[in-house]
Amino acid sequence: MGNVLSAQFYAAAEAALPGLEADIARRDFSRLHGWLREHVYAPGSLYTPDELIRRATGQDFSATPYLDYLRRKYQALYLA
């Protein structure tokens, strides 16, 4: 469940922060950390888990971002 949720948070952060992947490639996690602090860490105890997910990502809890990640990561290995 943690992997599914982290993929959903990452997808939302990536949508909100263009160039995030390039930041991470440069080992600059400051914008990602700022987004997580604002949208997840700070309001974390104010809302139920479902409400926090909805507020942070704009969607209900979903496995779709995690499944998309898995497809991108492994598709070339299994379709080659």
Q: Is pLDDT of 80 > 80?
A: no
Is the pLDDT higher at 77 or at 61?
61
Q: What domain range is 45 assigned to?
A: 2-79
Candidates 14, 53, 51; CA nearest to 35 is 14
The tally of CA atoms less than 13 A away on the side-chain side of residue 56 is 32
Q: What's the rounded mean pLDDT across residues 56-78?
A: 93
Instruction: Look up the pTM and report it.
Output: 0.89
Please report the pLDDT score of residue 64 as a whole number.
97
Number of domains in the chain: 1
Please report the pLDDT score of residue 76 as a whole number.
81
Segment 14-63, tens digit of pLDDT: 999 999 999 999 999 999 999 999 999 999 999 999 999 999 999 999 99
Taking the C-alpha atoms of residue 47 and residue 53, their distance in angstroms, rounded to an integer, is: 9
